[in-house]
C-alpha cells in the first residue's frame, strides 16, 4: 500500500514530503478528484430521474457515481468496488466488461449498427431467431423483437387479443394474472400487474385483468406441500375459466418464480396443470421469462422443468448479457399463421424504432455462444449447490424465514419489527454497500441473483457478508 501511495503521489515510501512542490501538486489533484466526485453526483441529481426511486431519499442516501466494471465487480470514481450480487437488476449474466461480448460488438460496429427491420433483415437477427427457436425444440419458431421487457409483455397481450379477433372470437378480450404479479410498467403491462403501489397510482388508466391466487409455496398450511398449494391455485384458475368461458384471451405467469413479488417460488405442477386448463378452455398461456429466462432457474427456459411449452415466451434482461436493450416474444406457428394474410388489418400492428437492432442481437448471439462454449448450464448446477451450502446456516437464524432457491436465484424473508420493517430494504442496501456488496432487497425479501462468473471463494464471501449486513441492520 505504501508503495502504491508513493507511486500515485510522488512521496517516498516512508511518507516523507520530499519535494514540496510535488506535495502541493498531490493536494491539488486530490481536491480536483473530490470536486469531480461531488460534481458528478450533483449533476446527476439535477438532471437524471432514477427508476423505482423516491429521489428525495438521496438527500440522506448518497448516490454512487460509477467509473467502470470488471467481472462481477463495479467500481466507483474513488476506486471503491462493489460486488454486483443482483446482476444490475438481473441483466448481467457474465460479468461487466466481458471481453467476448465486447469483441463481438466491436466487430459488429464495423459492419452494421442498425437498420429498420420493416422491409429489411440482417444476419444477427436471423441467427438469433434460429438459435432461440432451436432451444425450444422448434416449438416456438417465430420471434418478434422490441427493446424492453414491458414492451414484450404488451406485444404478447396484443398478439393474443388480435389472434382471437382474427379467428372471429371477438369476445375473447380478457386476461388473467396472478396475485402479486409484476409484468412491467407500461400501461398494458400494468393491466396484468398486481402490485398495490402501481394499482393505486395508475388504476384509473388500466383495463383491469382478473387476479387469481398465486401458487406461492410460502402459503402452505401446516402439513401442506407445494404441490397441494399449486392444486388449490389451479382450482381457482379453473373456476374463473369456467365462469368467463369464451371471454378469456390469455393468462400470463412468470414460470416457477414470481420475481418482483418477492421471489415467490412454486412447484412445476402448477405450470403443468395450467397448460392443461389452457388447452381445455382455449386460452393462451403466456410465459413471462424476462427475469427467469436465460438459465436463471437452472434451465434456459423455466418452462422446460415442467416439460411444457407456452403459446408465448417473453425474453429480455439477460438475453443480451446486460449490454444493450433487447426484448422479444417467441410464439408458435399457429399464432403466426393467424396473422398471415394480404389484409393489413389482419397483420400484427406493433413496432419499435430499434426493433431487431443489429448490435443488440449480436450481443445476444455472443451471450448464447458463451452458454454453449462454456457449458454454462452444467457448470451452474455446481455453483447453485455451492450457493445452497454456503447459505444453508441461514435457515437456523430466527429472523430468517422461507430460505429458498431455484437454480441461480436464492432468497429468504426477514422477520422484522414494525420499526425495522419501515425502511428495511433501504438500510440493508446502504449497509451492504459499506461492505462492498450490491444487494437490493424487495421489501423484507433479501435475494441474490449473482452473475454466472462468480467463483467458490466469492460465494463464501457473499454468504458471510450477507450475514454480517443482516446482523448490523437488525441490531
Residue 223 within a domain: yes
Q: Which three cell numbers stand for residue 78?
A: 474513488
Q: What is the pLDDT of residue 35?
A: 58
Q: What is the pLDDT of residue 21?
A: 52
For residues 289 and 302, give the distance between their C-alpha atoms in angstroms, rounded to a whole number. Answer: 7
Report how many domains make up the chain.
2
Q: Are 362 and 370 in contact (CB under 8 A)?
A: no
Same domain for 291 and 384: no
For residues 394 and 471, give the distance between their C-alpha atoms in angstroms, rounded to a whole number. Answer: 12
For residues 443 and 434, give the distance between their C-alpha atoms in angstroms, rounded to a whole number. Answer: 20
Same domain for 462 and 323: no
> Mean pLDDT per 10-residue run, the chain (475 residues)?
32 41 50 64 79 70 87 94 97 97 98 94 98 98 96 97 97 98 94 89 88 98 97 98 98 97 97 98 98 98 98 98 97 97 92 94 98 98 98 97 98 90 90 96 96 98 98 93
Same domain for 383 and 362: no
Residue 6 within a domain: no
Same domain for 290 and 246: yes
Same domain for 435 and 314: no
Instruction: With CA atoms as reference, report the closest residue to 324 among 108, 157, 72.
Output: 108
Sheet of 284-288, strands arranged across: 142-146, 327-331, 312-315, 284-288, 248-253, 174-178, 210-212
46: number of Cβ within 10 Å = 7
DSSP calls for 137-154: TTSS-EEEEESSHHHHHH
> Could you say which of 373, 403, 437 is where a domain stops?
373
Same domain for 112 and 82: no
By three-state DSSP, how is residue 309 classified? coil
For residues 467 and 107, give the distance between their C-alpha atoms in angstroms, rounded to a whole number. Answer: 43
For residues 42 and 59, give the distance between their C-alpha atoms in angstroms, rounded to a whole number. Answer: 11
91: number of Cβ within 10 Å = 23
Same domain for 247 and 353: yes
Same domain for 333 and 188: yes
Domain range for 409 is 51-96+377-474
Same domain for 452 and 434: yes
Q: What is the pLDDT of residue 422?
A: 81
Q: Are 97 and 70 in contact (CB under 8 A)?
A: yes
Largest CA distance in the chain: 87
Residue 13 within a domain: no
Q: What is the pLDDT of residue 57?
A: 72
Residue 30 within a domain: no
Residue 46 within a domain: no
CATH of the domain at 256: 3.40.640.10
Same domain for 242 and 169: yes
Residue 15 within a domain: no
Tell me whether strands 312-315 and 81-84 are parallel, antiparallel or unpaired.
unpaired
Same domain for 393 and 248: no
230: number of Cβ within 10 Å = 23
> Could you say which of 328, 349, 373 is where a domain stops?
373
Q: Which residues contact 73 (CB under 8 A, 6 or more apart)?
A: 81, 82, 83, 84, 96
The pTM of the full predicted model, rounded to 2 decimals, is 0.90
HEC profile for 391-432? Answer: HHHHHHCCCEEEEEEECCEEEEEECCCHHHHCCHHHHHHHHH
Q: What is the pLDDT of residue 245?
A: 97
Residue 282 within a domain: yes
Same domain for 65 and 172: no
CATH of the domain at 89: 3.90.1150.10
Residue 205 within a domain: yes
Buried b (16+ CB within 10 A) or exposed e, 125-161: beebbeebbebbeebbbebbbbbbbbbbbbbbbebbb
> Could you say which of 325, 343, 373 is where a domain stops?
373
Amino acid at each position: 500500500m505504501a508503495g502504491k501511495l508513493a507511486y500515485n503521489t510522488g512521496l517516498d515510501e516512508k511518507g516523507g514530503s520530499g519535494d514540496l512542490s510535488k506535495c502541493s501538486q498531490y493536494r491539488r489533484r486530490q481536491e480536483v478528484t473530490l470536486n469531480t466526485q461531488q460534481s458528478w453526483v450533483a449533476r446527476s441529481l439535477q438532471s437524471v430521474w432514477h427508476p423505482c426511486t423516491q429521489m428525495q431519499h438521496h438527500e440522506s442516501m448518497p448516490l454512487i457515481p460509477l467509473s467502470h466494471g470488471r467481472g462481477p465487480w463495479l467500481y466507483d470514481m474513488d476506486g471503491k468496488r462493489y460486488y454486483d450480487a443482483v446482476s444490475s437488476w438481473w441483466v448481467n449474466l457474465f460479468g461487466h466488461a466481458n471481453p467476448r461480448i465486447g469483441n463481438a460488438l466491436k466487430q459488429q460496429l464495423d459492419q452494421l449498427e442498425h437498420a429498420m427491420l420493416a422491409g429489411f433483415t440482417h444476419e444477427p437477427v436471423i441467427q438469433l431467431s434460429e438459435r432461440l427457436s432451436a432451444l425450444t425444440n422448434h416449438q416456438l419458431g417465430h420471434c418478434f423483437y422490441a427493446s424492453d421487457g414491458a414492451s414484450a409483455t404488451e406485444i404478447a397481450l396484443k398478439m393474443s387479443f388480435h389472434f382471437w379477433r382474427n379467428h372471429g372470437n371477438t369476445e375473447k378480450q380478457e386476461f388473467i394474472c396472478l396475485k402479486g404479479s409484476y409484468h412491467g410498467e407500461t400501461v398494458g403491462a400494468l393491466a396484468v400487474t398486481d402490485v398495490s403501489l402501481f394499482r393505486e397510482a395508475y388504476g384509473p388508466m388500466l383495463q383491469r385483468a382478473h387476479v387469481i391466487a398465486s401458487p406461492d409455496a410460502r402459503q402452505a398450511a401446516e402439513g401442506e406441500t407445494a404441490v397441494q398449494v399449486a392444486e388449490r391455485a389451479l382450482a381457482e384458475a379453473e373456476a374463473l375459466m369456467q365462469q368467463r368461458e369464451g371471454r378469456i384471451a390469455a393468462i400470463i405467469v412468470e414460470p416457477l418464480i414470481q420475481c418482483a413479488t418477492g421471489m415467490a417460488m412454486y412447484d412445476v405442477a402448477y405450470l403443468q396443470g395450467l397448460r392443461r386448463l389452457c388447452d381445455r378452455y382455449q386460452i393462451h398461456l403466456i410465459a413471462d421469462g424476462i427475469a427467469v429466462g436465460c438459465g436463471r432457474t437452472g434451465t434456459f427456459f423455466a418452462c422446460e422443468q415442467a416439460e411444457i411449452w407456452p403459446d408465448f415466451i417473453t425474453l429480455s434482461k439477460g438475453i443480451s448479457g446486460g449490454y444493450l436493450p433487447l426484448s422479444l416474444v417467441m410464439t408458435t406457428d399457429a399464432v403466426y399463421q393467424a396473422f398471415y394474410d394480404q389484409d393489413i388489418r389482419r397483420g400484427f400492428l406493433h413496432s419499435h424504432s430499434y426493433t431487431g437492432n443489429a448490435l443488440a442481437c449480436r450481443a445476444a448471439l455472443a451471450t448464447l455462444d458463451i452458454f454453449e462454449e462454456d457449458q454454462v448450464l452444467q457448470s451452474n448446477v455446481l455453483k447453485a449447490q455451492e450457493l445452497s451450502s454456503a447459505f444453508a446456516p441461514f435457515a437456523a437464524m430466527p429472523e430468517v424465514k422461507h430460505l429458498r432457491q431455484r437454480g441461480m436465484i436464492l432468497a429468504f424473508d426477514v422477520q422484522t419489527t414494525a420499526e425495522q420493517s419501515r425502511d428495511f430494504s433501504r438500510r440493508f442496501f446502504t449497509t451492504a454497500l459499506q461492505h462492498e456488496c450490491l444487494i437490493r432487497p424487495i421489501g423484507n425479501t433479501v435475494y441474490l441473483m449473482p452473475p454466472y462468473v462468480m467463483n467458490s471463494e466469492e460465494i463464501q464471501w457473499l454468504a458471510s457478508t450477507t450475514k454480517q449486513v443482516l446482523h448490523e441492520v437488525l441490531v
